[in-house]
Every structure is written in structure tokens, then in C-alpha cells.
Amino acid sequence: MLSKLPSTNLKKIVKQRFDEASISKIHAMAWLNYLLFEQKLAKAAADYAKQDRSAVIREQHVRKAAKSILGASKG
């Protein structure tokens, strides 16, 4: 998993659309949104592992959780 948000692409897009004062705020909001997604993913993967009566969260649990979370967040 990525340990860091790809900030170069984000900053390039933000600079084209917003003023300099709001860039740091937008970067912080994107980072918090990324952390919130990771938290939801971990919780859902843990739930899938419990359903399978597994003590360890495996790749298949994370994939199931990612599929359900990404499907729910499409808008």
C-alpha cells in the first residue's frame, strides 16, 4: 500500500484551479480523506476476517473490503 498520498499530481491540479492561500488547506483535506479511507478499509477487512473466523486479516479480506468501500463511495 502507498505510505504517502501522491502529492505532486495533487498540487499540480490544485495550482491550476485554486489560489495559493487555499492550496495547503486542500492538501490537508485530501490527506485526511485518504486517512479516513484507510481507516474504513482496515475496519471492513477486520469484519470480513471475523466472518471467515480468521484470526489474521489476509489479502482476500482487504480486497473484498476495498471492493465494497469503493463501490459505496462512487457518486
The per-residue pLDDT for range 36-72, each reduced to its tens digit, is 999 999 999 999 999 999 999 999 999 999 999 988 8
Residue 13 within a domain: no
Residue 8 within a domain: no
Residue 31 within a domain: yes
Residue 59 within a domain: yes
Q: Is 14 or 31 the better-scoring residue by pLDDT? A: 31
Range of the domain at 66: 20-73
H/E element holding 66?
helix 59-73
Specify the residue for cell string 502507498: 2
Q: How many structural domains are present in the chain?
A: 1
Residue 2 within a domain: no
Residue 28 within a domain: yes
Is the Cα torsion angle 65, 71, 74, 75 positive or negative in sign? negative
In sequence order, the 6+-apart residues with CB closer than 8 A to the CB of 63 are none
Helices (H), the chain: 7-17, 20-51, 59-73
Residue 49 within a domain: yes
Residue 36 within a domain: yes
Average pLDDT over residues 14-28: 81
Give the whole-angstrom CA distance, residue 61 versus residue 45.
5
